[in-house]
Amino acid sequence: MTSPFTETSGTARYQGFAELAARGPLQYVVLFTGVPVWLVTGYAEARELLAHPDVVRSPMDGPHRDQVFDSLANSMDRHMLGANPPDHTRLRKLVSAAFTRRRIELLEPRIREIAAELLDEMAAADGPIDLVDSYSYPLPITVISELLGIPPVRRDDFRRWSSVVVNASVHSPEVYIESAFAMVEFIRELIEDRRVSAPSGDLLTALIAARDGGDRLSPDELTSMVFLLLAAGHETTVSLITNGVHALLTHPDQLALLKAEPERLPAAVEELLRYDGPLQAAIPYVAAAPIEIAGRTIKTGEVIVFALSAANRDDAKFGAGAELDITRKDNQHLAFGHGIHHCLGAPLARLEGRIALGMLFERFPDLRPAEPDRDPYRTPGLLMNGIAELPVVL
């Protein structure tokens, strides 16, 4: 099959998704990993299946699960994204008690302060800079690190581990296990340090203390939730910022409109999430019972992969889905998923995206690509849709 997931050119990647979508909204294919799956490219079908009670998460479908020993898997995978009701309901309720909208809203002044510091450092640079290293990465990693209490001296280690963890499908089991184990050990150190130190009021302290009556997160559930927040909670925002800047720079008419009418920024962020979102696909699901959809039958136990990059450009839903249009109305994209597993961190990602893009173009209105004729390198893998580096001239 065409494998857009491993294309390292954005143009080729989206062309591959378009070719797959043209064959139908639901197809039985073999992924580049060798796993046969039902690949969902249609928006309506993806939305229906993501909310379907018989579309569930499998406890055995984690990366390299056949070679990851159980104690490590339990320390990483016992979070709400990997759970089904009633476990999912319980975990989401506990985590939501700590990860509140109010807590996120209170972060805005600090996020603006971090962005301003980074923009000052960028302004002092001589010549082109890489937006990823200078801005897109350090902004969300600083935010999530401060939110969870990660010391600055450990953030480079964390970046190295997480880059492997979120792109596990293109790394060997040995490399993946080494990074995952190091990250889990680091998380355990953080938790133990927070237990014995005075309460700091950060999110990690709140997660440790979170309870519903007599219920609270178990040790494995706590490490798994922090693992999820660290790995997924910043990598996706890095791509939101980088992909968004790249999309606007390559669509000067849309960028000019945004500069002329900055009040369009929230809608622009939604359109950028739809047009070139951080994820190519959602984490795989399985069918718990036979499902009839789009004239096909998904059998019990078969794997389902949602190609978000295709569904979010479905012309039947969006009209001219391959075009960037920041004036688009009723933009119900699937960049944060749908149903019970809709991303709990979506408000934080949206907030960081609005602040990062707004302050960047306000500070550097003449920002332009340093290599306008080059299609930036995209990291291959099943899940992430990330640009590795984006050279720009301020």
Q: How high is the pLDDT of residue 43?
A: 98
Greater model confidence, 180 or 231: 180
Q: If you average pLDDT over residues 221-235, what whole number do you get? A: 84
Q: If you average pLDDT over residues 310-327, what whole number do you get? A: 97
Q: If you average pLDDT over residues 331-343, what whole number do you get? A: 95
Query: Residue 385 is encoded by which pair of tokens?
Result: 């849709």
Residue 207: band (very low, low, confident or very high) from pLDDT cuts 50, 70, 90: confident
Q: If you average pLDDT over residues 384-391, what whole number do you get? A: 96
Q: How high is the pLDDT of residue 301?
A: 95
Q: If you average pLDDT over residues 330-352, what whole number do you get? A: 94
Over the range 153-164, which residues count as b (16 or more CB within 10 Å of their CB) and which as e? eebeebeebbbb
Lowest mean pLDDT among 87-96, 222-231, 371-380: 222-231
d(CA 118, CA 87): 41
Q: If you average pLDDT over residues 312-321, what whole number do you get? A: 97
CB 165 within 8 A of CB 180: yes
* pLDDT above 70 for 199: no
d(CA 365, CA 369): 13
- Beta strands, E only, the chain: 26-30, 36-40, 55-56, 129-130, 211-212, 215-216, 285-287, 291-293, 296-298, 303-306, 368-369, 391-393
Phi, psi torsion values for 10, nearest 5 degrees:
-60, -40
Q: How high is the pLDDT of residue 176?
A: 87
> What is the value of pTM for the model shown?
0.92
* pLDDT above 90 for 76: no
Q: How high is the pLDDT of residue 74?
A: 87
* pLDDT above 80 for 161: yes
The dihedral built from the CA positions of residue 295, 323, 237 and 212, taken in this order, carries a sign that is negative
Per the prediction, the chain carries an average pLDDT of 91
- Domain parsing of the chain, residue ranges: 4-393
* pLDDT above 60 for 60: no
User: What's the farthest any 2 CA atoms get from each other in the chain?
Assistant: 60
Q: What letter represents residue 158's amino acid?
A: F
d(CA 205, CA 142): 18
Residue 364: band (very low, low, confident or very high) from pLDDT cuts 50, 70, 90: very high
Q: How high is the pLDDT of residue 226?
A: 87
Q: If you average pLDDT over residues 71-96, what whole number do you get? A: 89
Q: If you average pLDDT over residues 338-343, what whole number do you get? A: 94
Lowest mean pLDDT among 35-49, 145-159, 182-196, 333-347: 145-159
Q: If you average pLDDT over residues 93-100, what whole number do you get? A: 85
Q: How high is the pLDDT of residue 66?
A: 75
Q: How high is the pLDDT of residue 249?
A: 98
Pick the CATH number of 4-393 from 1.10.530.10, 1.10.3720.10, 1.10.10.10, 1.10.630.10: 1.10.630.10
Residue 72: count other Cβ atoms within 10 Å of its Cβ.
15
The angle formed by the CA atoms of residues 327, 328 and 330, to the nearest 5 degrees, is 130
